[in-house]
Amino acid sequence: MILFPAIDLKGGQCVRLKLGDMQQATVYNTDPAAQARSFEDQGFEWLHVVDLDGAFAGHSANGDAVETILKATDNPVQLGGGIRTLDHIEAWLSRGLRRVILGTVAVRNPALVIEACRKFPGHVAVGIDAKGGKVAVEGWAEASELGIIELARKFEGAGVAAIIYTDIDRDGILAGINWTSTLELADAVSIPVIASGGLASLDDIRRMLEPDARKLEGAISGRALYDGRIDPKEALALIQAARTKETA
């Protein structure tokens, strides 16, 4: 079980959005590299990064900031936002990124995702962002007719490293993870699922460690960490205790 701290990039700064609205962005740090180092120093093992501008533009828009992050931390980094081609995937992986997250292209061109998994095994994740139970694309600006599980099942057996599932209706408002929908997705596919959107407190961490949620790879935390609602030391201690219990 992994707790992924999030760095969302807008204009080269670390921000958090409210309900996916680019006009409701709170700046938390103007130095993404320093934020990445801080998360590593706190004991986190991974880093989740989203190029928000890139997600809307359809191409990398915060590449310089991402590169400073990669140089600043030894932690593995997964990146989503505007990654739409095989060349783009290869370019990022060659710079030291551990995982690319494919969202819009997973809806528009699932064959490309399958090909990427074949070419870069273990390095491709799929981002499924949902609003009202339907998959959203283009930086959450457009809704599709696809259901969450319907899309996820397109990639069964393809070698997708993980599915990052975000409930947009909860993102950035500290409403708590949508456990019902997240666990339904995890039950429906064999691909590891990472919960995202709304993680609010240590109660969500404790819920993540319950037996029925152990099938998840972990969860992503943004605003709750930045606002101090979750103490990193306490959260990571809970996760470590659960790991120790599992291996005992």
* Residue 216 CB coordination number (10 Å): 23
| Catalytic (active site) residue 212 | no
State the pLDDT at residue 19: 56
State the pLDDT at residue 60: 87
Longest Cα–Cα distance in the chain: 48
- Per the CB < 8 A criterion, the answer to whether 71 and 78 are in contact is no
State the pLDDT at residue 140: 47
Q: Is 13 helix (H, G, I), strand (E, B) or coil?
A: strand
State the pLDDT at residue 25: 81
| Catalytic (active site) residue 129 | yes
Residue with tokens 């180092």: 37
- Per the CB < 8 A criterion, the answer to whether 209 and 242 are in contact is yes
Name the active-site residue from 8, 51, 53, 204. Answer: 8
Is pTM beyond 0.85 here?
Answer: yes
Cα 150–chain centre separation: 20
Residue 38, class by beta-carbon neighbours within 10 Å (0-12 exposed, 13-18 middle, 19+ buried)?
middle
Name the active-site residue from 51, 53, 64, 129. Answer: 129
- End-to-end C-alpha distance for the chain, whole angstroms: 16
Question: Nearest-CA neighbor of 209 among 237, 231, 181?
Answer: 237
* 179, containing H or E segment: helix 179-188
- Per the CB < 8 A criterion, the answer to whether 86 and 119 are in contact is yes
pLDDT tens for the chain, 248 residues long, are 999 999 999 999 999 876 556 777 888 999 999 999 999 999 999 999 999 999 888 888 999 999 999 999 999 999 999 899 999 999 999 999 999 999 989 989 999 999 999 999 999 999 998 877 778 765 445 565 678 999 999 999 999 999 999 887 665 556 678 899 999 999 999 999 999 988 889 999 999 999 999 899 999 999 899 999 999 999 999 999 998 888 87
State the pLDDT at residue 139: 47
